[in-house]
Amino acid sequence: MTSGYTRLSASALPLTLLPGRDPGIRGSLSLPARGESPRKAARQGLPLAGTRGRAFQGWVRGSRSRLVPVLLAFIDLSVLTAGAGAASPAAAVEAEHGMVVSAQHYASAVGAGILAQGGNAIDAAVAVGYALAVVDPCCGNIGGGGFMTIHLKDGRDTFINFRETAPAAATAAMYLDPAGKPVADLSRSGYLAAGVPGTVMGLEHAAQEYGRLARGVLLEPAINLARDGYVLSRADADILAIKADRFAKDPVVARVFLRPDGSRFEPGDRLVQTDLAAMLEAIAQQGPDAFYKGPIPAAVETASSASGGILTAQDFADYRVTEGPPLTCSYRGYRIVSAPPPSSGGTTLCQILNILEGYDLKPLGFGSARSVHLLVEAMRHAYRDRNTYLGDPAFVQNPLERLLSTDYAARIRAEIDAGNAAPSAALQPVHEKAETTHYSVVDGEGNAAAVTYTINGSFGAGVIAPGTGFFLNNEMDDFTVKPGTPNLYGLVQGEANAIARGKRPLSSMAPTLVEKDGRVFLVLGSPGGSRIITAVLETILDIVDYGMAPQQAVEAPRVHHQGQPDEIDFERSGLTPETTVELTTRGYKLVEQRPWGAVELIEIANGRLYGANDPRRPAGAAIGY
């Protein structure tokens, strides 16, 4: 599960922000050993020393005279630390003043540049959100939605909900044929699959309420990356390759995401997104109205209605974000701060933690059959409740108090102790695709932001309305299309998550903070659909119960059980033969899957910041300073 470091080529870091600076500055990004100050390493002339004795090198050269390396423009390069992937458990990137970990290294660099420029964690989170919309087009977005969990230096926690809403013309049966059967693909591709996007209003709300830099400053790196393009690494090109055949079917998409001759992009090619640059520029100048009013929603409505969709300009005009308290619980003395409904993320995470708190996991050993058994049975119960009870709180009553009570956890433990694996309907195994993205940001003042946002399936609904430059989401598939029918992630859900106009589909996204004594200890989250919750859960257990170092926890193999299908999914080579034999004897069906999720983690320990990028997303990087 490890990958080597990524070497960035001369043209691979178009980290541009300010006009007029020297475009030829060179520098290197270093990985000081854990416990060693980056400043000290730099002073000692250890520009490329890493924890593994390996180098992470990159240098920056603008391709035009006006291009400027953002990081180099703002900060003393010798104090920058970066890492993409990792080769050993201890290889988290260490820094003193700020840290950004995202699934795309340019975006991480943009965030670190904003921090270095005096922005706080929320400024950086907003800038990274826009940058990922450009450099991580499968997943980063302005055509989707998500959640931001924030800790402020004064001790407050808050949660911004910018989840998509169902269009006004949406109905419970909109994806069923006259016989009441779901129509294949209708909720997953094309305009009818799209909810009303929330990302732009969510990012703007965050910046306005909690940021301090001007909107133009936060958007400029993304605009430059879109307008001038960025050079694709192998990892970037691989993500585009997943959907290259589909890109070819839509001329608007093909013009941007395929070469002029129709072939797929290769590493070293430059991806330029002119329409997206114009869209971002308009947001920079006019604010969210540029996205929610006027020509952009009109263009979406025109393209949508021409293709059987129901999105209207009025849906955009009616869109609103909400802000409120995050969902919290405690686990072994830590405070878990995560996503409330309309995400199931925090509720299901806390429900599983409540159950597990009654066991002493450490002596059972990481990955042992006994510990996996307890984990999986807790997951089974929590996912059953998720799929039965949870939905958008604006529409349904979520029985949170009951689900999160210690009595309820004790009752479930009693059942687990008594029982073995229970049979359930056979459903297709779920296969991970790269679609959502999570990033974590911490600044030097004590602010932190965990953001998970998505267009759901890979490249969302696969459509870009002409002239808009952004992929629309296919988030409508997160609703219950029909009770009893599995969605993209194999989730079999109920009436609480039925489609209704203006309602938000139930999510599994779990941007999470773990706090101790009022201070942030961990910032984390993951993509992975229904597996987001278990990826976050297991990373917390790996650190809190098993004492793993941050990078080790991120890399550790994962298991997943969501009730239905009734099987334990495990990552390739993630369970020992002894464990698999014993679990099989206990009655479990085990299904090996390709690695899933991408936990982007920051741990704060002894006043220092440790960033761990998940090597399952090799384009990502932890960058601090």
Rounded to 10 degrees, the C-alpha dihedral 118/122/126/131 comes to 60
- Positive or negative, the CA dihedral 170, 173, 176, 182 is positive
In the structure encoding, which two tokens stand for residue 256, read together? 């941007």
478 forms part of the interface with ligand DON (CB under 6 A): yes
Rounded CA gap, 218 and 151, in Å? 20
436 forms part of the interface with ligand DON (CB under 6 A): yes
> How far apart are CB 432 and ligand DON at their closest, in Å?
6
Query: Coil, strand, or helix at residue 91?
Result: coil
Of all helices (H) and strands (E), which one includes residue 450?
strand 448-454
CB 65 within 8 A of CB 562: no
Name the nearest CA neighbour of 306 among 250, 257, 256: 250
How far CA 366 is from CA of 371, 542, 543, 592, in Å, comes to 7, 8, 11, 18
Stretch that binds ligand DON, among 85-93, 317-325, 504-512, 564-572 (CB under 6 A): 504-512
21 or 616: CB nearest ligand DON: 616
Pick from 368, 447, 507, 534: which binds ligand DON (CB under 6 A)?
Answer: 507
Q: What type of residue sits at position 352?
A: I
In the structure encoding, which two tokens stand for residue 569, read together? 């999914």
> How far apart are CB 511 and ligand DON at their closest, in Å?
11
How far CA 293 is from CA of 9, 40, 327, 472, in Å, comes to 41, 51, 32, 16
Interface characters, 514-543, with ligand DON (x: CB under 6 A): -------------xxx--x-----------
> How far apart are CB 497 and ligand DON at their closest, in Å?
11
Rounded CA gap, 304 and 296, in Å? 12
Segments in 231-368 forming alpha helices (H)? 234-242, 244-247, 251-257, 274-286, 289-292, 295-306, 313-318, 345-356
Residue 35's CB: how many other CB atoms inside 10 A? Answer: 10
Segments in 404-531 forming alpha helices (H)? 406-418
> How far apart are CB 438 and ligand DON at their closest, in Å?
9
Tell me: cis bond preceding 595? Omega within 30 of 0 counts.
Answer: no
Segments in 425-500 forming alpha helices (H)? none
How far CA 141 is from CA of 27, 131, 464, in Å, comes to 30, 9, 12
387 or 456: CB nearest ligand DON: 456
38 or 618: CB nearest ligand DON: 618
351 or 371: CB nearest ligand DON: 351
> How far apart are CB 481 and ligand DON at their closest, in Å?
14
> How far apart are CB 596 and ligand DON at their closest, in Å?
7
> How far apart are CB 188 and ligand DON at their closest, in Å?
11
465 or 488: CB nearest ligand DON: 488
- Positive or negative, the CA dihedral 260, 266, 269, 274 is positive
282 or 510: CB nearest ligand DON: 510
Q: Which residues contact 546 (CB under 8 A, 6 or more apart)?
A: 361, 362, 366
Rounded CA gap, 189 and 461, in Å? 4
Interface characters, 448-467, with ligand DON (x: CB under 6 A): ------x-x-----------
Rounded to 10 degrees, the C-alpha dihedral 347/351/352/355 comes to 170
The reply to whether 436 belongs to the active site is yes
CB 505 within 8 A of CB 166: yes
Catalytic, out of 16, 81, 436, 437: 436
Pick from 509, 520, 523, 604: which binds ligand DON (CB under 6 A)?
Answer: 509
Which residues 542-581 are close enough to bind ligand DON by CB under 6 A?
A: none
> How far apart are CB 537 and ligand DON at their closest, in Å?
15
> How far apart are CB 62 and ligand DON at their closest, in Å?
34
221 or 342: CB nearest ligand DON: 342
Number of residues that bind ligand DON (CB under 6 A): 14
Paired strand residues for 531: none
351 or 507: CB nearest ligand DON: 507
507 or 580: CB nearest ligand DON: 507
Side-chain-side CA neighbours of 351 within 13 Å: the count stands at 30
193 or 404: CB nearest ligand DON: 193
> How far apart are CB 268 and ligand DON at their closest, in Å?
27
Name the residues that contact ligand DON, by CB under 6 A: 433, 435-436, 454, 456, 475, 478, 507-509, 527-529, 532
| Residues recognised as catalytic | 436
